[in-house]
């Protein structure tokens, strides 16, 4: 189900997000290892496509499980943790694709996976924020992961469905 509804007072739509099952479908139909790595970096690390194409193997600190993201939005550098399962795949850096090529590859993979939502590569970043917030990461931690200066920007990415609110409400009143 899609929750692309208008945000109160601003007239803008909430971002589409992919759940784990939808992302797994996309992964399952992606045969190109470089595309697969890029998609995983978007979903698991919340990276922008422009940040992914700049990553080099020298930006991976295996010991600390961190990626050095060079010159992200606003020309800011930052460190981003990566999950253990992503570790070996990072040997494939750099991804060797341009921004537009990855955007096209993601759209095609989404269609092959049967995703009917209007998704774009940036949807992976929205999905990362939602994924981590639903698993207990604080808004401030997600803000740091995404490299946002303002918490209000992070709140836009932190899409919580009405069903999630209802489930929490039901848990409170058991």
User: Could you give the residue numbers annotated as active site?
Assistant: 48, 73, 122, 125, 148, 157
- 8 A C-beta contact, residue 34 and residue 95: yes
The Cα–Cα gap between 90 and 123 comes to 21
What secondary structure does DSSP assign to 12-37, as a single string?
A: -BPPP---HHHHHHHHHH---HHHHH
Report which secondary-structure segment, H or E, holds 61. Answer: strand 60-61
Residue 142, classed as helix, strand or coil, is helix
């Amino acid at each position: 189900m899609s929750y692309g509804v208008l945000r109160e007072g601003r007239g803008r739509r909430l971002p589409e997000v992919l759940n784990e099952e939808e992302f797994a479908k996309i992964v399952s139909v992606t045969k190109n290892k470089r595309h697969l790595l890029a998609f995983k970096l978007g979903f698991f690390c919340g990276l922008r496509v422009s940040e992914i194409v700049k990553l080099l193997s020298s930006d991976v600190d295996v010991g600390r499980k961190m990626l050095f993201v060079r010159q992200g939005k606003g020309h800011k550098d930052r460190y981003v943790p990566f999950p253990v399962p992503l570790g070996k795949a990072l040997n494939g850096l750099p991804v060797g694709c341009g921004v537009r090529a990855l955007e096209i590859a993601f759209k095609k993979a989404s269609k092959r996976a049967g995703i009917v939502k209007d998704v774009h590569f940036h949807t992976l970043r929205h999905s990362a924020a939602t994924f981590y917030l639903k698993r207990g990461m604080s808004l401030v931690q997600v803000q740091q992961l995404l490299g946002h200066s303002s918490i209000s920007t992070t709140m836009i990415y932190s899409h919580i469905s009405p069903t999630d609110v209802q489930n929490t409400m039901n848990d409170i009143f058991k």
